[in-house]
Structure 1
Amino acid sequence: MALPVHLHCRLLMVALLLGGCVRLGPDFQAQHESWTEQWSTAALDQVTQQRQQPDLRQWWQVFGDPILDKLIAEADASNAGVRIAGLRVVEARAQLGIALAGRFPQVQQASAETLYVHSRKSGATVQTSRVWQYSAGLDVGWELDFWGRFSRAIESADAAYFASRAIHEDVLVLLHAQVAQTYFTLRAAQARLRIARENARLQKRSYEITERLFKGGESDELDLQQAKTQYLGTLSSIPELENQILQARNALAILVGRPPAPMHEQLDMPDREGVVPLIDRAVLQDVPASLLLRRPDIRAAELQMAAQSALIGVAKADLYPSVTLLGSIGWSASSLPATPNGLVLIAGPSLRWNVFDYGRIRNNVRIQDARLQQLIVTYQDSVRQAAREADDAATGLIKALEREAILAQASEAASRSLALANALFREGYSDFERVLDAQRALFAQQDAYLVNRSTAVGYLIALYKALGGGWQSGQPLVDAPTQQQMEQRTDWGGLIDEAASEPAGKRSSMQGGRPDE
């Protein structure tokens, strides 16, 4: 027996409502590899220690350098890369707002018209009519989220938003490491310049002695030319070191958001100039395995996977029919006498199904899945690369510390050798060539010692960076002048403040949090 039409409609609506629980596409699963759970290396164990202070987020405080602290604070406030990353967080928050709008009717159109009609008919008599016609209406269309198209789009935008926050934190990690590295490169160049000048002054005196002896006939020209060559060689290294100092100053100026300038007021403190610290341990608040996975770039890669995973569900929803609830209210009136006003109400469901797509939809699903797999491989490789960076930095620090002890002894021996060579020369037991050799060895050992110290500092900074340290900043995502400039152009409706007030440790909805609406 055939069912009545109205019963068919009711059964269809029940089936569609039951289908409303479906969310097509894969639910995101974290891709953590088993080896990361207890990962560490002998080198990391040797150069790290567990302590609460200083916090890994502000690791540069281990150097106890107030100038470095000030430079990093200024870079947080003014660096162009950090400001751009903050604006991209605001952009991603606006994109999330667009996705959240999918929960509500997609079509909401109000219309109104006023028409003037002037007609004239010729015949036995001429008839002229002038009529005003009025109409107003409201059209509403609401595509129901039966297959999870809109919920998956929200999930994707939510993960992308939190990925942008993680990228902002990664920019801070890189910036802090770069500021510290550039700063200590400057200090090492200053120390090397001081040593070069001291040795040049010493070698100049030797050159003047040999010149006097040569003119008095007490020495041959070979000693004179060797002393001159050594002095001029050392003197030639001074302009290059001065150039390195100027370039490091300019680099620091750009990093802190200034035009290239000497920055004397920030850097020229007599008690800090040319000081290259030596620290043999990195202070951590957790085990390296946990810190590795909390690196901002690793978290960003994971969130980008989550965003792409949700897009597979959005693409799959196109394979199924879409059901839209349509509604329209219309009113019309005319100035023509005896013409009644009209009110029309139209409502009902609409079903659309792209049956013949010739593989376009399925291939789009495959494209989204292939992109997800690319991000999975990228994430796995990023974790491995992060582990390599941490172990390389730890190993490099160990070897630099070993070399530092050797070079320190070598410098002391070279200094003692020069003193002995000068004494033997004055007593007439040795020629001047041994003095020149001792001076050359002293300068080489002292310079190598400073270069190695700078290398050790660089490895320590690299270790902190590899473990994701330095991601916190006390500055807002968007500084006040920039926010004011943007709000003069566009009504932001508090969105900038909303994005800036998001808790730093909050997770996206796919990881147990909820995005603000």
Structure 2
Amino acid sequence: MRASLHGVALWLAVLFLVACTRLGPDFQSPGEPWTKTWNSPAIEHASHRQHSPDLRQWWQVFSDPTLERLIAESDVHNSSLKIAGLRVMEARAQLGIAQSQRYPQLQQASADTLYAKRYQSGGSNPRDSRFWQYSAGYDIGWELDFWGRFARAIESADAAYFAAQANYEDALVLLRAQVAMTYFALRTTEARLRVARENAAQQLRNLEITEKLYASGQIAELDVQQAKTQYLGTSSSIPSLEDQAARTRNALAGLIGQPPGALSLRDESTGLIPLVDRAVLQDVPAELLLRRPDVRAAELNVAAQSALIGVAESELYPSLTLLGSIVWSTDSLSGTSNNLDLVGGPSLRWNLFDHGRIRNNVRVQDARLQQLIEAYREQVRQAAREADDAATGLIKALERERILRQAAQAAQRSLVLANTWYREGYSDFQRVLDAQSALLQQQDNYLISRSDAVNNLVALYKALGGGWQSDQPLVDPQTRQSMEQRSDWGNLLTPPTAAPPSAAAALKVTDHD
């Protein structure tokens, strides 16, 4: 008896140890050593450290209420962002499917009511009979997770869920940068349009003066035609700028979820776009790069695929399933008994001959893992390059802006002098035309240079992952109400906890659960 108990205890210990086994590799972060010490002189030169404004709300550095309003509206109404939030809900439901494998996979209740009519012929007592047959049963099947197949599947689904959250945050980063760039592009185009109209008005006055002077015989027709050519050339640029402004306004309207033509900006957005010469950072660039949402998503994709190797390897080994059934049956015939059957026991299944299908599937999963590792490393390098390029672009755009500002001031002074000398007869009209052309060109170049500087600043914030947090729910109330009317979502649509900053943290959450 004692030997029997020892055998049972040993068998249970073996089952426990095997049940704790997880096939396949444990996740290892694919990070590269250079990211720990990487630094960019351009980023250091183009940024400074302070606590406010937070990198997650970098647009506050411009102190532009209109921009803040547009970003707030895009958070609520942008369709691409809504889709990204719904993909988080989809991944959350997929995680629930994976977690359900921890419990008995087959739990089925059945009930049958059958009518039977039997015809008997031959024999000593042939007769017909009719009766009802009733049965009810409950079947259960529970495949034990000997090799960690279900645990690895949960691990993969959990990493995929956090990757979906990181993708949502990446959508926020891209959206806010795009809103800011489109908004500043609109203001730049409108400023260029004002400059073109002002220069066209000035050139029209010069044309009218030359026509009067020509009519009185004081100048030649050549001066009139040159003035007219310049005026019409400047005027021809106005429709193109108006078209560009309209298209940019419609693009901005689309980003905040409005139809074309519905966007209205306040009057305070008519001046020069704000020029900020430094980015505000709260951490070193290397740490900010690794916290970029798209980099975290790439790392979490590696974690999800790493777990799938264990799922594939588990198919190489036998599976043990505990089966059980309870069936009660009776019929309407007199004299027959009621039956209650209790059936239970283990079932062992092992796919011994698969002609290499399972092993090749393991290789497929491993090859996919290595692809994602390389994709993660490339993503980090791309992030570093984007940040360095944007910082360099900001520095050089600011240098160009300072030069062009002086050039525009010099062109303005040149036009004043040219007009004075022409009126006093010290120079011909060609110098006035040249000064007017130079003024328009330098003023336009100056506005474009300011836009380039601002775009590079926004690109630097985007490259460092700024703007990834939002107070808005992943699913807005109206959409949530529509979804709950169609399906029972339980508590899945409630705001989930924030995603961990790394895949390793996500897997710790999984292990804890």
CA contact (8 A) 2:405 2:446 kept: yes
Partner of 1:52: 51
2:507 is aligned with 1:502: no
CA contact (8 A) 2:155 2:507 kept: no
Partner of 1:275: 272
Q: Secondary structure at the match of 2:446?
A: helix
Residue 13 of structure 1: how far off its partner (Å): 5.9
Partner of 2:143: 143
Residue 215 of structure 1: how far off its partner (Å): 2.0
Q: Secondary structure at the match of 1:213?
A: helix
2:32 is aligned with 1:33: yes
CA contact (8 A) 2:116 2:131 kept: yes
Partner of 1:91: 90
Partner of 1:244: 244
Structure 2 Cα separation of the partners of residues 105 and 257 of structure 1: 46
Q: Deviations over 1:311-331 (max 9, x none)?
A: 000000000000111111111
With normalisation by structure 1, the TM-score equals 0.95
Task: Give unpaired runs (5+ residues) of structure 1.
Answer: none
Partner of 1:477: 474
2:102 is aligned with 1:103: yes
2:389 is aligned with 1:395: no
Change (3 A) 1:350 1:283: same
Structure 2 Cα separation of the partners of residues 510 and 483 of structure 1: 26
Change (3 A) 1:158 1:384: same
Structure 2 Cα separation of the partners of residues 400 and 182 of structure 1: 18
CA contact (8 A) 1:188 1:274 kept: no
Partner of 2:290: 293
Q: What aligned pairs does 1:29-428 form with structure 2 within 5 A after superposition?
A: 29-122=28-121, 127-264=127-264, 267-269=265-267, 271-428=268-425
The one-letter amino acid of 2:372's match is L
Task: Give unpaired runs (5+ residues) of structure 2.
Answer: none
Q: Deviations over 1:281-309 (max 9, x none)?
A: 00011111100000000000000000000
Q: Deviations over 1:218-243 (max 9, x none)?
A: 21122111111111111111111111
The one-letter amino acid of 1:114's match is T
Q: Deviations over 1:165-214 (max 9, x none)?
A: 00000000000000000000011011111111111111111111112222
CA contact (8 A) 1:246 1:262 kept: no
The one-letter amino acid of 2:134's match is Y
Partner of 1:451: 448
Q: Deviations over 1:232-278 (max 9, x none)?
A: 111111111111111111011110011111422xx131x32142111
CA contact (8 A) 2:144 2:321 kept: yes
Q: Which stretch of structure 1 is more off in the superposition, 125-134 or 442-451?
A: 125-134
CA contact (8 A) 2:59 2:68 kept: yes
Residue 356 of structure 1: how far off its partner (Å): 0.4
CA contact (8 A) 1:77 1:475 kept: yes
Q: Secondary structure at the match of 1:37?
A: helix
Structure 2 Cα separation of the partners of residues 309 and 516 of structure 1: 19
CA contact (8 A) 1:166 1:300 kept: yes
Structure 2 Cα separation of the partners of residues 504 and 146 of structure 1: 30
Residue 510 of structure 1: how far off its partner (Å): 4.6
Residue 136 of structure 1: how far off its partner (Å): 1.2
Change (3 A) 1:198 1:308: same
Residue 8 of structure 1: how far off its partner (Å): 8.7
The one-letter amino acid of 2:351's match is N
Residue 125 of structure 1: how far off its partner (Å): 6.0
Residue 34 of structure 1: how far off its partner (Å): 1.0
Q: Secondary structure at the match of 2:37?
A: coil
Structure 2 Cα separation of the partners of residues 381 and 189 of structure 1: 36
Q: Deviations over 1:383-435 (max 9, x none)?
A: 00000000000000000111111111111111111111111111111111101
Q: Secondary structure at the match of 2:269?
A: coil
Change (3 A) 1:97 1:189: same
With normalisation by structure 2, the TM-score equals 0.96
Q: Secondary structure at the match of 1:513?
A: helix
Residue 18 of structure 1: how far off its partner (Å): 2.8
The one-letter amino acid of 1:416's match is R
Partner of 2:464: 467
CA contact (8 A) 2:299 2:502 kept: no
CA contact (8 A) 2:300 2:502 kept: no
Structure 1 Cα separation of the partners of residues 287 and 274 of structure 2: 28
Q: Secondary structure at the match of 1:130?
A: strand
Task: Pick the aligned partner of 1:442 from 425, 432, 439.
Answer: 439
CA contact (8 A) 1:190 1:274 kept: no
Structure 2 Cα separation of the partners of residues 251 and 405 of structure 1: 30
Structure 1 Cα separation of the partners of residues 13 and 511 of structure 2: 31
CA contact (8 A) 1:162 1:507 kept: no
CA contact (8 A) 1:189 1:274 kept: no
Structure 2 Cα separation of the partners of residues 106 and 334 of structure 1: 31
Partner of 1:21: 20
Overall identity of the aligned pairs, in %: 64
The one-letter amino acid of 2:287's match is S
Structure 2 Cα separation of the partners of residues 134 and 341 of structure 1: 10
The one-letter amino acid of 1:445's match is Q
Q: Secondary structure at the match of 2:493?
A: helix
Residue 32 of structure 1: how far off its partner (Å): 1.3
CA contact (8 A) 2:66 2:266 kept: no
Q: Deviations over 1:465-513 (max 9, x none)?
A: 000001111211001111111111101112111xx23235576665422
Q: Which stretch of structure 1 is more off in the superposition, 149-158 or 33-42?
A: 33-42
Structure 1 Cα separation of the partners of residues 60 and 9 of structure 2: 69
Structure 2 Cα separation of the partners of residues 9 and 278 of structure 1: 78
Structure 1 Cα separation of the partners of residues 238 and 501 of structure 2: 52
Q: Secondary structure at the match of 2:342?
A: strand
CA contact (8 A) 1:414 1:441 kept: yes
Structure 2 Cα separation of the partners of residues 131 and 12 of structure 1: 49
Structure 2 Cα separation of the partners of residues 274 and 190 of structure 1: 9
The one-letter amino acid of 2:71's match is I
